[in-house]
Amino acid sequence: MSIALYPGTFDPITFGHIDIAMRASRIFSRVVAVVAQNPGKNPLFSIDERLDMVTSSLLHVPSIEVISYGGLIVNCVKEYKASVIIRGLRALTDFESEFQMAYTNRKLYDAAETVFLMPSARYTYLNSTMVKQIIRLGGDITQFVPEYVHRKLLLKVGGGGVAAASGAEG
């Protein structure tokens, strides 16, 4: 049984993330989507909120399990007896940091292989930061995230654009 870990902050999960998870599920018998508790980032959503959104978004794929993890991803690889770490590559700009992370993980645990998957062309530009910025400015993100995630974002930042996102009255 081949097990792959797909780690990410998923703040929030987008259709690009879902696309990568689906691609991985066609290659590996089991995929573990790992919602990272990354102390170096300041996520909009709590770990429980991100777990909820990722679980909801991937519920239709029985071979994908969703967990949270706060340690080194290589330790999670060992714990789950995984053979691969899945990383999405959207564009050339992702390559340098992903390449560095893959080699660091291999140095920490030489059995940690990284497989890079490219999303569908329509998601190559998409990232969570962009989605959050669009909704904060009152834009429509329905083409970028599942409906459940869209509702969670509206509750978190409001749907009224800049004034609602900044807390100003208008």
pLDDT in tens, 120-144: 999 988 899 999 999 999 999 999 9
Q: What is the pTM of this model?
A: 0.89
pLDDT at 168: 37
pLDDT at 39: 78
**CA atoms of 106 and 74, how far apart (whole Å):** 8
**Candidate list 41, 107, 122, 151, residue with the active-site label:** 41
Of the chain, the percentage scoring pLDDT greater than 70 comes to: 93
- Reading phi first (left if > 0) and then psi (alpha if -120 to 50, else beta), residue 90 is in alpha
Residue-wise burial string across 114-147, b where 16 or more C-beta atoms lie within 10 A, e elsewhere: beebebeeebeebbbeebbeebbeeeebeebbbe
Token pair in block for residue 48: 């429980």
pLDDT at residue 109 tops 90 = yes
pLDDT at residue 86 tops 70 = yes
**Candidate list 50, 87, 128, 150, residue with the active-site label:** 128
Q: Would you tell me the crossing angle of helices 15-27 and 47-58 to the nearest 10 degrees? A: 60
Active site residue 90: yes
pLDDT at 165: 38
Domains assigned to the chain: 3-124 (3.40.50.620)
Active site residue 41: yes
**Candidate list 30, 63, 90, 156, residue with the active-site label:** 90
Give the residue with greater pLDDT, 158 vs 42: 42
DSSP characters for 8-74? E--TT--HHHHHHHHHHHHHSSEEEEEEE--TTS--SS-HHHHHHHHHHHHTT-TTEEEEEE-S-HH
pLDDT at residue 166 tops 70 = no
